[in-house]
Structure 1
Amino acid sequence: MADRTETDKRNGDGSDTSGSGTGGRRGRATDRAAAARADLARALAAAVRGEVSATAGDRALMTMDASNYRRVPDAVVAPRDAEDVAAALRVCRERGVPVVPRGGGTSIAGQATGTGVVLDFTRHMRRIVALDPEARTAVVQPGVVLDDLRAAAAPHGLTFGPDPSTHSRCTLGGMIGNNSCGSHSVAWGTTADNVHALDLLTYGGEAVRAGRGTDPEGRPTGLPPRLRDGVQALVGRELALLRTGYPTGLPRRISGYALDALLPEAGTDLARALTGSEGTLGVVTEAAVRLVETPAARALAVLAYPDESAAAEAAHTLLPHRPLTVEGMAADLVGKGAAGLPDGGAWLFVEMGGASRAEAAARAEALCRAATADGATGHALVADPAGQRALWRIREDASGTATRMPDGTEAWPGWEDCAVPPARLGPYLRDFRALLAQHGLRGTPYGHFGDGCIHVRIDFDLLTPPGVRRFRGFSTDLAALVVAHGGSLSGEHGDGQARAELLPAMYGDELVGLFGAFKDLWDPAGGLNPGMLVRPARLDDNLRFAPLPKGPVPVEFGYPHDHGDFPAAVRRCVGVAKCRTEKLGSGSSDVMCPSYRATGEERHSTRGRARLLHEMLAGEVITDGWRSPEVRDALDLCLSCKGCRSDCPVGVDMATYKAEFLHHHYAGRIRPAAHYAMGRLPQWLRAAAPAAPLLNALARTPLAAVAKRLAGIAPEREIPALAGETFRRWWWRRRAAGGAPTGGRTVVLWPDTFTDHLSPEVGRAAVRVLEAAGLRPLLPPTAPPAKRPSFPLPRLHRPGLCCGLTYVSTGQLTQARAVMRRTVEVLGPLVRPDRPLVVLEPSCAAALRTDLPELLFDDPRAARLAASVRTFAEVLEELAPDWTPPRLDRPVAGQTHCHQHAVLGDAADRRLRERAGLTGDLSGGCCGLAGNFGFERGHYDVSVACAEDQLLPAVREAPPHTEILADGFSCRTQLAQLGERRGRHLAEVLAEALGEGPESG
């Protein structure tokens, strides 16, 4: 967030304020709005100690949550404590400005969006105030991330029961606001079942301590007199309606206000009644929650069924076995047989607990036997925690994965979590599928089958008026269908704007009118989250797609997965915020999003950057288009690690979006010095090669500081030494001496810039291993074949080959396209299916496999070249399957290269290491150097923080005899410059074990 008093100096809609007529009036209105925002920001900054911002960038980051909706706030406040919350409410109340409490912004019904002031609790109010293992309670501030509470409770054998799939980034305040549930609710209930007491502030400034019970006069405790008497009177007046107006038999009844919790026979549980009120009644400043005992061991049974209906009808029959979870997924979401699932058309994920792994497995086996006798067609039982995590990841990523249909069509929330009585789930799903077909829609249901709660993303067309009308018509019909099955419009995520308009279909006008009376009692000014739950906005208003361009936007990349449509690529981000995970879990191989983990800033998450690009395209808050400094600054700390390409459930590719943006942003303008220095590194290294000894000597003199300043290089960085003899020069010298074998299967070995000029020892080692495996590596020429006979140019003047990586990462796409075309012309005649292109540097391999065909989308040769790219391990596995590598028999440590993780995959590397006796796994994350990123001035601290996230701790903790693997030049350089142990490419390790041959020096 920007400085406390910084405000947006541009017009909100980009209009010209100096015109006359309508334009002039619009401009004057915009001026007044900007002045009001500035005044509001000043008043807030004077009243609170936390950060306050009304800048375009910070407002843009808060326009959306994980729903279909978008509303633009006037300012964002990050309160430090309850006093700050009270002060902010006072300022807003004096000005009639609405307030929206916000946690992780993962709400799917739109309730975390709003006009006025957004209270962002994720920055400061995230302290676990107390944890009492004996009482099994914890006191938390609203910004506490669920996984942080679970980690604090775990040493005591406890956990917080509700665990939505966003557990690594959702907050307790948000869970309380939505009455979140999660996959373990069949065992441990909803958030409302686990809340003991709430401290709240009303919009009017009244402090509330909401708990359970009454005073001797039967009035709810913890309330100021006005609310105490008002609540007592309302409940007493409406006892009959409260006792008969709510559906029964619904473990997941989340819709509306839970006013029946205020009945005497329910214990007058005010905390429960306020849980799920979506920030419309009060702002939670602290919560006392219950903890539950977690089983010592768990086993996961995956049960296969012929189809979704069979799985749905079986789910409730498993509940007598006392499972911890009963989750359902169908084949149209994950693919038949995917990820080790047993053959079937649908699956139930059923987790069983026990005092030991043996007991948990025995209980799971008993359940599998019962399920098989009752219609399950197969099962898999997983007791290994790592195997369970891999299977659960399929389920947890579903909320993003389901956003794209198998044919690439977009699908959206809106009917994300209806719930029916569990015994009615099978019939309901059949009727639901029929209703989809009736409206010509498609969706992929999954979710909490044991609780009768279904998640689904549907291929609504929310971009055109006819599509929006269909969305509305389907919503009305589905509400009627849910009610006909005795269900709740919301079974987990709340009503928000998505479903609140339809609450009369579920509860009737009389009970919905009572909701309004309760809201008016607590918030007579209507200042808290207006438009949600009570007197809601229409479900088809405020759609986030409405302000986007209606036609195509001219871009450079082909965006093949989005049909060349850049706005569609940006729309991929649905806001589930997996990129906001602050710490990778033990054993995680994930990469996304290293800059967010380093800074904790929303703008540095993949979601934050996508939101800013969305607002850039919308042009309402961010009005400078491609010239936007807000987008540029947010993308500045994007490492282009491509982690989001694989780790984001919907495949947002921020590295590509960044390259696209930089290309347009700097078109016709002076670029940062680092773009000219490091973005064009291949040119400079080729020119510098003849003078390598002299330049290496100068790099150790005071002149190096001057050179770094001129080149935009961080002063803390050492300039890597140039090779005295390039890999290419060694290759041709060796061939001239007759040292290269002439037999064997031919492969083309790519002499990437880093291997050629900075680490030729890797190239020499790779040649040694490839030849030992019976392969015959050849290097490509440096220029395309002449179209007609001509006098050959001296080698020094031939243009070099390049994958284009450094040009792409700095957004120099015109130059990137030129060098890529030259590469295609040279390699096109050389590579073919039986003669692959072997690339030793993972970042270069990734550029050739993805950036090249996506930038040269109009050249079919580019796709063929990309398909020929193989990593070092892949080519050995494919073309030398019978070769036996030398046995090394020692553990490994280090980090899988981020581009290898995201684009290439490391399965072949794992198998090669196993065959060579190299044991253990490499960590996830990013080394933080990431090509030019860590060398650029201003990036050093973030670069080091990224390295400290996974790589450096893994290396420090490794025993002395551990082999430190780092296939990327950046990874090896980061290790060397931060004072850690030397990392080596896998080829170097294997070549050393082979022994030195006469041709290897």
Structure 2
Amino acid sequence: MTEHSGRSGLEAELRRAVRGEVGFDVTSRALVTMDASNYRRVPAGVVAPGDADDVAAVLEVCRARGVPVVARGGGTSIAGQATGVGVVLDFTRHMNGLLELDPGTRTAVVQPGLVLDRLQEAAAPHGLRFGPDPSTHSRCTLGGMIGNNSCGSHSVAWGTTADSVRELSVLTARGHRLRLGPDWAGAPEGLRELVAGDLARLRTGFPDLPRRISGYALDALLPEKGADVARSFCGSEGTLGVVTEAVVRLVQAPRARALAVLGYGDESAAAEAAAGLLSWGPLTVEGMAADLVRSPAGLPQGGAWLFVETGGESAAEARARAEEIVRGADVVDSLVVTDPAAQRSLWRIREDASGTATRMPDGSEAWPGWEDCAVPPARLGDYLRDFRVLLSAHGLRGTPYGHFGDGCIHVRIDFDLLTEAGIGRFRRFSEELADLVVAHGGSLSGEHGDGQARAELLPRMYGTETVRLFERAKALWDPDDLLNPGMLVRPARLDENLRFAVLPRDPVEVAFGYPADDGDFRAAVRRCVGVAKCRTTTVSGPAVMCPSFRVTGEEEHSTRGRARLLHEMLAGELVTDGWRSTEVRDALDLCLSCKGCRSDCPVGVDMATYKAEFLHHHYADRRRPAAHLSMGRLPQWLRWIAITHTAPLLNALAGVGPLARAGKRLGGIAAEREIPRLATRTFSGWWRAREPVRGAGGMGAGGPGPGGSGPGGFGSGGSGPVGLGQGGLGPVGSGPSGFGPGGFGSGGLGQGGLGPDGLSQGGLGLGGSGMGGSGPGGFGPGGFGSGGSGPVGSGPGGLGQGGLGPGGLGQGGLGPDGLSQGGSGLGGSGSDGSGLDGSGSDGSGLGASGTDGLGPDGSRSGALVVLWPDTFTEHLSPAVGRAAVRVLEAAGLRVALPPTLLVRGGGIGAGRARSAAALLTARRARVCCGLTYISTGQLDRARAVLRRTLDLMEPVLRAGVPVVVLEPSCAAALRTDLPELLHDDPRAAQLSSAVLTFAETLQRHAPHWTPSALNRPVAGQTHCHQHAVLGDTPDRRLREAAGLTGELSGGCCGLAGNFGFEKGHFEVSRACAEEQLLPSVRQAPEETVILADGFSCRTQLDQLAGVRGRHLAEVLAEALEKETGS
């Protein structure tokens, strides 16, 4: 019988036997090949049992076929015990209930798949809680905690899971249903005799320390310990039986808490101090070193800290206890916090350490394997010093942290698990560290179990006779060795089944630069270590990750699940068709590209980038979905509509039902969606129509002349040193040779920037390519046609007959074959006036505005900023752009738009459409962040668009002018995607660093300006890209300054650009919005200001709630208008 036919027969038999789901497909198997450890094992299939009868049926089928069974909860085990080669039981899907909670007896009846936080939420109204609370509390399950005997930060007060278990309902591999408890309740036949025959060994052979998790807890069966079979079962890692129900104890939660953060010189000093703090009865004594802290803001001074929590009946009592500990501790510095939100913020630093620790300070990888050794607390300082010596001897690095009060240390170490030599060192170090732990009277595991990582070394801790006792106990419970074989007894070797061994040895060719991973996509995928913070089912605070998992509850639609499938795609064993994989494509389909994982994932997995990369390869030389063509190329379509002035017609047609439905079908748009109305006048059209009022100190009294700039153009009376900073637009002004011998001055656009030859050295480099490239002559008659990329710069056919002649960029500059007379450039206007001054009839260049050139204090020192006309502001919500101009100018800033370039033809990708009359008209090449191309994986187009953008923006970059981007997604694309896609172009990093949000601009360049007071509450949502990439601290400060009170929601609005408009995504999109955004808006008082800086967020609010969301710029502009009456 072949492996495939055997697996098919097993699948068919299981489908007949159980009511729950049976998954033997590639995706189901791939998702559970790994947990949070270094190990990988490929299962035959996965079953999500509906109840205990289903579990019994699975065990019966597998026993008959000799197939192993592995019980799995949240998959956050870090020793390999949640992986297996047989059938994996996934309890999280159905058997996840809280069956009963009795406040009187302080007990709860739970199923194994119940997430710990759900139990805590149910117990909290009764003043109760479950004592153990590992850092994975938001996604770990009670069954997994029982299997590993998990602990958590409060174990100094409330002990381990075994201390909190009263009874267990268990199924053995042979189908026996047992009810485990004290006094031998539920003990399998022969267990009592085994214990009675070796009492002396059980009384003396087990280290006496609070965190002894390694091995089987056979000493719990001693008569003096109550012969507690349930307690002994805890920590058996699914090797003895399968838990189907548990009765657990709850503890009284303190009414109030305080957190004392104690600073010490280093981790050894903190470790030595920890044991001495226990006499004060703290709730926690957690330690961590500075290496694990991304930002020390909010922490007291020190190289390491202890987080000591106290409780009380009131905040004052809890604080008094904390302050008493501070007075008695010998610390470098300290901090006592009673505000619950501030405490949560500090605790997040500690909880994220398990992920943060997977990266060394220099960005190199670190791995589990020696995650949780424990020694007597009084010996912790000495142990850490010896541990550091051992690390150094093997040339390894690691940063300890963890439960210092219990003597339990977590550490991720920079093992090389990719090469034979590195794996050999991993083994030698493991063996020597095991001996060191034992020498200090410790346990190889103090929390997470032995699994495959440490079980091989148990004889070093217990001796061979005690290990044989473990084997005999296993045989009594599971004589056929079907339950999680290879764990605890007769274990697999610690250097087998390593998950990295299957990855390709050679680098994978990719489009993005992956700078944090040295350009290696394999390393990027390896970032996911399985801590599963993305599986959190509720959002806390401003967090975003992972909206698709919270809606579906499916591992496939979590960040971790997608990373697992990408890992298997690279491995090629399960997912065999590489970039063409339909399994990976389907898993990525519901990824909203929110980028939440980029910031919320402790290891910085960036699934939005991985999705764009995958789609780029998946659809290479293949037909793309209609949505990629309609919405992925949205900037092209909207620009064409603006050129042809057809927005009113299209708006009317979108209101005709049959036509709208047909259009949506053609474009791959969800039928439930409304097509947003197009602006009948674009933002830049409004800008050109403005009557600029320039003061004597504005852009120069003389204005531009036909031969470049007039005497006052950029002279000393123009921008001056305060315009673009010292050395910006220098005092030379312009003479007959264009921009003068100094160009823009040595500090501006470089010496000789625009010399008498036009572009000269250091000039604009206007030969950049687009999707269709540029004609053979640079910007010849074909514009951005299909003739490939020609030489950069100018020439006989390049920028017109005269090149950039002595007339600068005036009438003699750009000849009729190039960009038409007047053209664009850095000062000359000609008929268009689109140069840096921008004051011609068009005025659409980098032309500074400002009502009178005054700063907020009445001086003429307002900084020049470039306002980015993103696609959404330009064509769909120009009111946002107008409002931003109003506010920026009121703050004393001078506003300009980016340079544009007049070309003929259809621009990017126009080769096929050059016969279309509408696209042969003269048009302006405009800047674009490439967002829609990137999100749909059209990365070749994105790169072409971005290179053209860099060409256009080069004068801005050379002048060092900040770039204000109003749309958060576009700002995030320029900040991150641009430099990662064009990592070979130094201008990409320049533009990335020049980008500012609206609030950042006001904070940096108008710090003394105060917005008009609104004094109203706010609701709405921080854009997910703002949260993930840009940060919202400046926005918070700006809102506070305007008297806007309250917090914005976390999570994602669910529209996510093209995602929520795509066919098949509407229900998920709406469910995301219903999670936080829509409820917060519905509950808001009538006078509440609804803030949503993203066009997607505003559209979602409008279409799902009939609520108008506004950009912060609009709200502040409205306040200005009310204040001034204008």
Contact persistence 1:740–1:999 (CA under 8 A): no
Deviation of 1:982 after TM superposition, in Å, equals: 1.1
Contact persistence 1:785–1:826 (CA under 8 A): no
User: Does the C-alpha gap of structure 1 residues 795 and 900 become closer, same or farther in structure 2, counting only changes over 3 Å?
Assistant: farther
Distance of 1:492 and 1:716 partners within structure 2 = 50
Distance of 1:894 and 1:833 partners within structure 2 = 37
Question: 1:490-889 alignment to 2 at 5 Å?
Answer: 490-585=445-540, 588-689=541-642, 690-701=645-656, 702-735=658-691, 741=851, 743=853, 744-783=862-901, 796-831=922-957, 834-889=960-1015
Distance of 1:708 and 1:981 partners within structure 2 = 24
Deviation of 1:828 after TM superposition, in Å, equals: 2.1
Q: Deviation digits for residues 927-967 of structure 1, max 9, x if unmatched?
A: 00000000000000000000011111111111111100000
Match of 1:452 among 403, 407, 419: 407
The reply to whether residue 922 of structure 1 matches residue 1032 of structure 2 is no
Deviation of 1:778 after TM superposition, in Å, equals: 0.3
Deviation of 1:796 after TM superposition, in Å, equals: 4.5
Secondary structure (helix, strand or coil) at the match of 1:143 reads: coil
Contact persistence 1:713–1:937 (CA under 8 A): yes
Contact persistence 2:969–2:1026 (CA under 8 A): yes
Contact persistence 2:262–2:334 (CA under 8 A): yes
Distance of 1:749 and 1:376 partners within structure 2 = 50
Contact persistence 1:162–1:188 (CA under 8 A): yes
Q: Deviation digits for residues 211-257 of structure 1, max 9, x if unmatched?
A: 001xxxxxx2234xxx23x0111011111111111111x10000000
Secondary structure (helix, strand or coil) at the match of 2:425 reads: helix
Bigger drift between 727-736 and 254-263 goes to 727-736
Match of 1:938 among 1039, 1064, 1070: 1064
Question: 1:77-96 alignment to 2 at 5 Å?
Answer: 77-96=47-66
The reply to whether residue 315 of structure 1 matches residue 282 of structure 2 is no
Contact persistence 2:1078–2:1105 (CA under 8 A): no
Match of 2:198 among 216, 238, 251: 238
Distance of 2:888 and 2:920 partners within structure 1 = 30
Normalised to the residue count of structure 2, the TM-score between the two structures is 0.83
Contact persistence 2:96–2:112 (CA under 8 A): yes
Letter matched to residue 525 of structure 2: V
Deviation of 1:662 after TM superposition, in Å, equals: 0.2
Deviation of 1:742 after TM superposition, in Å, equals: 5.8
Q: Which runs of 5+ in 2 are unaligned?
A: 695-848, 854-861, 905-918
Contact persistence 2:268–2:385 (CA under 8 A): yes
User: Does the C-alpha gap of structure 1 residues 999 and 299 become closer, same or farther in structure 2, counting only changes over 3 Å?
Assistant: closer
Q: Deviation digits for residues 518-542 of structure 1, max 9, x if unmatched?
A: 0011111000000000000000000
Secondary structure (helix, strand or coil) at the match of 1:349 reads: strand
The reply to whether residue 271 of structure 1 matches residue 230 of structure 2 is yes
| Counterpart for residue 135 of structure 2 | 165
Deviation of 1:795 after TM superposition, in Å, equals: 8.2
| Counterpart for residue 403 of structure 1 | 358
Deviation of 1:741 after TM superposition, in Å, equals: 3.1
Deviation of 1:569 after TM superposition, in Å, equals: 0.2
Name the Cα RMSD after superposition. Answer: 1.5
Secondary structure (helix, strand or coil) at the match of 2:566 reads: helix
Deviation of 1:833 after TM superposition, in Å, equals: 7.6
The reply to whether residue 338 of structure 1 matches residue 296 of structure 2 is yes
Q: Deviation digits for residues 153-201 of structure 1, max 9, x if unmatched?
A: 1010000000000000000000000000000000000000000010000
Letter matched to residue 698 of structure 1: L
The reply to whether residue 296 of structure 1 matches residue 414 of structure 2 is no
The reply to whether residue 362 of structure 1 matches residue 362 of structure 2 is no
Deviation of 1:737 after TM superposition, in Å, equals: 8.7
Distance of 2:174 and 2:960 partners within structure 1 = 74
Letter matched to residue 761 of structure 1: A
Deviation of 1:839 after TM superposition, in Å, equals: 0.1
Deviation of 1:800 after TM superposition, in Å, equals: 2.9
Distance of 2:1027 and 2:459 partners within structure 1 = 49
Secondary structure (helix, strand or coil) at the match of 1:254 reads: coil
Letter matched to residue 343 of structure 1: Q
Distance of 1:111 and 1:740 partners within structure 2 = 66
Q: Deviation digits for residues 429-448 of structure 1, max 9, x if unmatched?
A: 00000000000000010000
Q: Which has the larger radius of gyration?
A: 2
The reply to whether residue 260 of structure 1 matches residue 219 of structure 2 is yes
Distance of 1:199 and 1:39 partners within structure 2 = 30
Normalised to the residue count of structure 1, the TM-score between the two structures is 0.93
Deviation of 1:798 after TM superposition, in Å, equals: 2.6
Distance of 1:606 and 1:868 partners within structure 2 = 31
Distance of 1:554 and 1:246 partners within structure 2 = 53
The reply to whether residue 130 of structure 1 matches residue 256 of structure 2 is no
Deviation of 1:831 after TM superposition, in Å, equals: 3.2
Distance of 1:236 and 1:943 partners within structure 2 = 61
| Counterpart for residue 392 of structure 2 | 437
Deviation of 1:334 after TM superposition, in Å, equals: 1.3
Contact persistence 1:41–1:75 (CA under 8 A): yes
Match of 2:21 among 42, 51, 56: 51
Contact persistence 1:952–1:980 (CA under 8 A): no
Secondary structure (helix, strand or coil) at the match of 1:914 reads: helix
Match of 1:120 among 78, 81, 90: 90
User: Does the C-alpha gap of structure 1 residues 361 and 475 become closer, same or farther in structure 2, counting only changes over 3 Å?
Assistant: same
More helix by proportion, 1 or 2? 1
Contact persistence 1:831–1:837 (CA under 8 A): no
User: Does the C-alpha gap of structure 1 residues 298 and 998 become closer, same or farther in structure 2, counting only changes over 3 Å?
Assistant: closer
Letter matched to residue 572 of structure 1: R
Contact persistence 1:783–1:801 (CA under 8 A): no
Question: 1:165-204 alignment to 2 at 5 Å?
Answer: 165-204=135-174
Distance of 2:639 and 2:852 partners within structure 1 = 29
Contact persistence 1:784–1:826 (CA under 8 A): no
| Counterpart for residue 108 of structure 1 | 78
Q: Which runs of 5+ in 1 are unaligned?
A: 1-28, 214-219, 787-792
Distance of 1:148 and 1:258 partners within structure 2 = 28
Match of 2:241 among 269, 282, 291: 282
Contact persistence 2:850–2:895 (CA under 8 A): no
Q: Deviation digits for residues 832-882 of structure 1, max 9, x if unmatched?
A: 585200000000000000000000000011001100000000000100011
Secondary structure (helix, strand or coil) at the match of 1:891 reads: strand
Contact persistence 1:659–1:811 (CA under 8 A): yes
Secondary structure (helix, strand or coil) at the match of 1:70 reads: coil
| Counterpart for residue 348 of structure 1 | 306
Letter matched to residue 86 of structure 1: A
Match of 1:328 among 266, 287, 295: 287
Question: 1:849-998 alignment to 2 at 5 Å?
Answer: 849-995=975-1121
Bigger drift between 821-830 and 477-486 goes to 821-830
Distance of 1:408 and 1:359 partners within structure 2 = 43
Contact persistence 1:68–1:543 (CA under 8 A): yes
Letter matched to residue 620 of structure 1: E
Deviation of 1:794 after TM superposition, in Å, equals: 9.6
Higher RCO (CA < 8 A, seq sep 6+): 1
Letter matched to residue 281 of structure 2: R
Contact persistence 1:845–1:869 (CA under 8 A): yes
Deviation of 1:782 after TM superposition, in Å, equals: 2.5
Q: Deviation digits for residues 612-655 of structure 1, max 9, x if unmatched?
A: 00000000011010000000000000000000000000000000
Secondary structure (helix, strand or coil) at the match of 1:473 reads: helix
| Alignment size in residue pairs | 947
Deviation of 1:781 after TM superposition, in Å, equals: 2.3
Deviation of 1:998 after TM superposition, in Å, equals: 11
Question: 1:145-160 alignment to 2 at 5 Å?
Answer: 145-160=115-130
Secondary structure (helix, strand or coil) at the match of 1:828 reads: helix
